Amino acid sequence: MILTVTPNPSLDRTYEVPSLERGEVLRATGDRMDPGGKGVNVSRAVAAAGHRTLAVMPLGGPAGAVLSDLLREEGIEVAGVPVAGPTRSNISVAEPDGTLTKINAPGPELTATEAESLLETVGARSADADWIACCGSLPRGLGPEWYAELVARAHRAGARIALDTSGPSLIAALRERPDVVKPNAEELSEAVGRPLLTVGDAVKAAEELRQLGARTVLASLGADGQLLVDDSGVRYGTAHVAAVRSNVGAGDASLAGFLAAGGSGSAALAAAVAHGAAAVGLPGSAMPVPADLAPSAVTVTSAVPLDRELAEPAS
């Protein structure tokens, strides 16, 4: 079972429009509402692949109730921690060329009691978890040390932790040695404090995160594929993508594929790449099902193209 922790979940409404024109009345060609938040998306992708998952998150107000109902409709167990503030609602506008404009609400401010209740719920429900995936930004009221405390408690209980966050929260948690961290190129650049212009730059940055405490780094480089850096070395995975429809949740789908495939080694990296490639071809934050995956389109190699320039240099 994969348990996910989403400290700042959301309801995500996505509108597809022919083009985004500022100040105009736009008519959507399609729209959808999905449960949102990085950990929530990991649970959705795990459930879509037919595996058991439990989603732990703070829930408040009508939006929180709708979010919980939507997740249960997808076969996901929900352990909601009641909070006084309302769960946030986000809006995304998707254009035909794959450009996505997002408006993310700040979300509720959690009290110290609510923050502790969230930690205690994770501990109480993690006994049979193969992995705990802690994902996303922290809401107001939770300091950057909150993820570090979660990782420490999980390790004391014997659980494995995958962490997908950024900024001070990521840096603070590294000293507790999370088993996997999953930055994208921009987050990796931010963590080491310098631009990443090539795949080789990204490899060096991932190795620095390992020196700071991360046991494994799974780095998403967008169109340039994914890197897996661990004790056995560096591996590089790519897949052909015919058309990008929406990149919302693609990194979350990748992490779900990686953990569901065991969370280590070339086979898990291949699963991560396949899930991410499938996700970008789906609307909104829809998660891929097994029929969407194309494992034969994935290439994993230890011959990493270190001099290859990143399509969108991270800075």
pLDDT tens figures, 7-62: 999 998 989 999 999 999 999 999 988 899 999 999 999 999 899 999 999 999 99
pLDDT for the residue numbered 243: 76
Kindly provide the b/e burial profile for residues 79-94, where b requires at least 16 CB atoms within 10 angstroms of the residue's own CB: bbbebebebbbbebbb
Over the stretch 230-270, which tens digit does the pLDDT of each residue have?
999 999 999 988 777 777 788 999 999 999 999 999 999 99
Catalytic residue among 34, 179, 224, 252: 252
What pTM was computed for the model?
A: 0.91
Query: Where exactly are the structural domains of the chain?
Result: 2-314
Token digits of residue 108? 């509720």
CA angle 276, 279, 280 (to 5 degrees): 95
pLDDT averaged over the chain? 94
Neighbours of 76 (CB within 10 A): 21
Answer for the pair 58, 114: CB distance below 8 angstroms, yes or no. yes
Answer for the pair 26, 79: CB distance below 8 angstroms, yes or no. no
Answer for the pair 45, 282: CB distance below 8 angstroms, yes or no. no
The CATH fold of domain 2-314: UDP-N-acetylmuramoyl-L-alanine:D-glutamate ligase (3.40.1190)
The length of the chain, given as a count of residues = 315
Residue 98 has pLDDT above 80, yes or no: no
Answer for the pair 196, 188: CB distance below 8 angstroms, yes or no. yes
Instruction: Give the integer Cα–Cα distance in Å for 90 and 72.
Output: 20
Instruction: Give the integer Cα–Cα distance in Å for 202 and 50.
Output: 33
pLDDT for the residue numbered 90: 92
Q: Examine the residue annotation and report whether 252 is marked as an active-site residue of this protein.
A: yes
Full DSSP string of 213-228: T-S-EEEE-GGG-EEE
Over the stretch 100-121, which tens digit does the pLDDT of each residue have?
898 999 999 999 999 999 999 9
pLDDT for the residue numbered 124: 95
pLDDT for the residue numbered 23: 93
Answer for the pair 208, 216: CB distance below 8 angstroms, yes or no. no
Cα R_g (the chain), whole angstroms: 18
pLDDT for the residue numbered 315: 66
Query: What percent of the chain is predicted at pLDDT more than 70?
Result: 99
Residue 97 has pLDDT above 90, yes or no: no
Instruction: Give the integer Cα–Cα distance in Å for 185 and 203.
Output: 10
Query: Looking at residue 2, what DSSP letter applies?
Result: E
